[in-house]
């Protein structure tokens, strides 16, 4: 498939990395020649310098015979015009645009993106994706990463293992014998910075980060087995009242289980807007790093603190300060992936990577056929792919033991009919089953081949 990616920033670069690694014909476009050069030097892609919305630039990038265009520049307007030019001038079949401004995303204006108006097939809102990720983190406060799969019936949990974990030094195959009714599968382990898929004989050690699939009904028990306690979230302090913080506060207000949220926002205009938009949430104007203001917000009595300003360092320091004041759980929004290794040393419980959430969202729409969901792990180290098994798939009719999966691939959960199952070697995969597969990035192309949902479907 021939794909043009407009924008060579963090998101565009990661998407190009994924698609070029799967032997697609990728061209990246950016107005900054240095970013284009970096992409061409590090990835198997072609590059064009220039403004993506210019027809001449898209022509040089190969738009006349492109199958897809992904507009992910820093400007909403450039992304929108790029899709319009790609459609009207070059007839590109599929167009994806990243739009940040909420003004373009109001539901009552959704007709704007119809094919006969502004022809954008998929609109990605990073801020909405990040807000959803923040709410997922709050739903599993003892996990550093989490995502739902298979219509919300299976949950991926990222759990940092400490000395209190009861199952340290236990071969994974013994977990099945020890907890026979627990529908859980350890699919990935990060040890000393290296992510790998464990074998049945592997053990877990203190300091490991384990990625675990669990049935949603078994999440509480799963967390206990791995040494974590889930606390009910009744009081939440949000530092940052911009679009992300406001979206999270709105969802918390609408929940049936009452959650008392307080928002701290440094910008007065932004704070006033948040106060007008929220009904039950208290909005405080001031610096989220101010000890007195954090005390006024009740951070010491809060069950969780969420720092989602547009500054990584502010978010990290706010999380550290909240922990020092007695808050048991702190989440920080981190754009710069090089800061992530500092999270553990600083005592920050979880982080949200906007780039990873946006990349996951875009990949979800790129993977065609019967792929239902894609989730990017870490700094694009691995993916979880959820898909329906086709009758023509090499998987159909075989047991897991009979399948020749690469070493970096493991089935995490299977739904047969209405039942979610923990996969074992003799589990048979049939047509119509929905499966969630954990795959290291290098093995994703092989997973797509086995699922017969390659993006060559186009």
Structure tokens at 74: 């820093």
Do 372 and 390 contact (CB within 8 A), yes or no?
no
Domain-embedded: residue 230: no
Q: How far is CA 206 from CA 146, 170, 188, 196, in A?
A: 20, 12, 15, 16
Domain finish residue from 124, 150, 175:
124
Domain-embedded: residue 453: yes
Element (H, E) at 19: helix 10-21
Q: What is the per-residue pLDDT for 453?
A: 46
Domain finish residue from 78, 93, 124:
124
pTM: 0.74
DSSP state at residue 70 = E
Query: Rg (Cα) of the chain, in Å, rounded?
Result: 23
Instruction: Output the CA angle 447-448-451, nearest 5 degrees.
Output: 90
Domain with 58 in it: what CATH number? 3.40.50.720
Domain-embedded: residue 89: yes
Using 50 as the pLDDT threshold, list the residues of the chain that sit under it. Answer: 368-369, 453-458
Co-location of 75 and 40 in the same domain: yes
Domain-embedded: residue 215: yes
Render pLDDT for 107-149 as a digit per residue (tens, 0 to 9): 677 777 777 788 898 888 888 888 888 888 887 778 888 888 9
Q: 216 is in which domain, residue-wise?
A: 130-225
| E strand segments, 287-391 | 304-307, 330-333, 350-352, 371-377, 382-388
Structure tokens at 194: 């290296």
User: What 3-state DSSP class applies to 199?
Assistant: coil
Co-location of 14 and 68 in the same domain: yes
Co-location of 344 and 435 in the same domain: no
Q: What is the per-residue pLDDT for 237?
A: 96
Co-location of 333 and 377 in the same domain: no
Q: What is the per-residue pLDDT for 63?
A: 95
Q: Looking at the 3D structure of the chain, how many domains does it have?
A: 4
Do 441 and 21 contact (CB within 8 A), yes or no?
yes
Co-location of 321 and 372 in the same domain: no
Domain-embedded: residue 189: yes
Q: What is the per-residue pLDDT for 107?
A: 67
Render pLDDT for 310-322 as a digit per residue (tens, 0 to 9): 999 999 999 999 9
φ/ψ of 11, rounded to 5, equals: -70, -50
Domain with 437 in it: what CATH number? 3.30.70.1450
Element (H, E) at 47: strand 46-49
Q: What is the per-residue pLDDT for 367?
A: 58
């Amino acid at each position: 498939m021939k794909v043009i990616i407009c924008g060579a920033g963090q998101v565009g670069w990661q998407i190009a990395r994924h698609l070029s690694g799967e032997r697609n014909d990728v061209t990246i476009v950016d107005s900054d020649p240095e970013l284009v050069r970096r992409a061409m030097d590090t990835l198997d892609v072609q590059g064009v310098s220039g403004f993506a919305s210019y027809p001449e630039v898209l022509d040089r990038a190969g738009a006349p015979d492109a199958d897809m265009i992904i507009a992910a520049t820093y400007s909403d307007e450039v992304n929108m015009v790029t899709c319009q030019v790609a459609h009207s001038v070059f007839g590109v079949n599929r167009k994806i645009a990243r739009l940040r401004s909420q003004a373009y995303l109001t539901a009552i204006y959704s007709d704007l993106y119809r094919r006969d108006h502004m022809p954008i097939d998929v609109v990605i809102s990073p801020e909405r994706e990040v807000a959803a990720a923040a709410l997922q983190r709050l739903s599993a406060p003892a996990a550093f990463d989490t995502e739902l799969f298979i219509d919300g019936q299976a949950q991926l949990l990222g759990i940092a293992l400490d000395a209190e974990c009861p199952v340290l030094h236990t071969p994974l195959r013994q977990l099945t014998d020890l907890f026979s009714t627990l529908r859980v599968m350890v699919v990935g382990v990060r040890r000393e910075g290296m992510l790998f898929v464990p074998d049945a004989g592997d053990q877990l050690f203190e300091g490991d980060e384990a990625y675990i699939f669990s049935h949603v009904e078994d999440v509480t028990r799963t967390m206990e087995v791995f040494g974590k306690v889930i606390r009910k979230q009744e009081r939440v302090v949000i530092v940052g009242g911009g679009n992300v913080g406001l979206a999270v506060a709105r969802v918390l207000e609408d929940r049936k289980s009452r959650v008392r949220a307080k928002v701290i926002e440094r910008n007065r205009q932004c704070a006033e807007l948040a106060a007008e938009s929220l009904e039950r949430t208290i909005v405080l104007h001031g610096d989220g790093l101010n000890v007195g203001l954090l005390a006024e917000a009740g951070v010491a009595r809060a069950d969780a603190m969420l720092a989602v300003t547009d500054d990584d360092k502010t978010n990290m320091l706010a999380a550290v300060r909240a922990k020092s004041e007695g808050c048991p759980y702190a989440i920080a929004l981190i754009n710069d992936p090089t800061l992530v290794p500092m999270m553990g040393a600083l005592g920050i419980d979880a982080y949200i990577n906007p780039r990873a959430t946006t990349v996951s969202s875009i990949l979800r729409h790129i993977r065609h056929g019967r792929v239902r969901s894609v989730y990017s792990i870490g700094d694009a180290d691995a993916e979880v792919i959820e898909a329906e098994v086709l009758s023509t798939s090499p998987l159909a009719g075989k047991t897991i033991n009979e399948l020749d999966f690469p070493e970096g691939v493991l089935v995490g959960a299977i739904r047969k009919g209405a039942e979610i199952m923990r996969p074992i070697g003799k589990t048979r995969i049939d047509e119509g089953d929905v499966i969630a597969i954990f795959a290291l990035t290098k093995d994703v192309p092989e997973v797509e081949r086995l699922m017969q949902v390659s993006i060559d479907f186009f």
